[in-house]
Amino acid sequence: MEILEQLFVLAHLLGMAAVVGSAVFVARGVATPALVWGARAQLVTGLVLVGLNEAADDELNTTKVAVKLLVALAVVACAEIAAAGERKGRGSRAQLVTAAGALALLNTAIAVLWR
Ligand code: HEM
């Protein structure tokens, strides 16, 4: 169980790197596959981590997790709408991509600073 949780934390951190890396540092304004799949991965791996922590009877800060869930849903929404706009040839939606990156950074700060 311990190793499973560690692997999901690793996947969770890689998802965070994909979103923040793409939106903030590499392809500003462009909804890259890394941004979209990273955002989806954060939602899935985060929920799995909650389940694994519950299964191990580890105490989780539920308020913090609920806030992170709402922020992560907003990240997915921004990334999906930006990517759909690009697919349909409506041009890049730079503000949505920036919002996705900024919100992912906010969730990273919440994860690390809210104990
Ligand atoms: C953009 C979305 C997200 C980002 C950037 C993010 C970022 C992070 C980071 C950096 C950590 C490691 C913190 C540390 O170990 O000190 C973490 C841990 C964690 N995250 Fe997220 N997160 C996101 C979404 C979510 C969601 C949606 C959930 C669940 C609903 C979630 C649940 C958790 C849990 C339970 C841990 C603790 C893992 C453990 O130590 O066992 N995260 N997150």
Distance 111 CA to ligand 1 centre (A): 6
Distance 12 CA to ligand 1 centre (A): 7
Token pair listed for 20: 């923040």
Per residue in 1-28, pLDDT (tens digit) is 799 999 999 999 999 999 999 999 999 9
Kindly report the pTM of this predicted structure: 0.96
Per residue in 43-101, pLDDT (tens digit) is 999 999 999 999 999 999 999 999 999 999 999 999 999 999 999 988 778 999 999 99
More confident site: 115 or 43: 43
pLDDT value for 73: 98
Q: Which of 115, 110, 85, 114 is nearest to 97 (CA)?
A: 85
Residues with CB under 6 A from ligand 1: 5, 9, 12-13, 16, 19, 42-43, 46-47, 49-50, 53, 60, 65, 68-69, 72, 75, 104, 107-108, 111-112
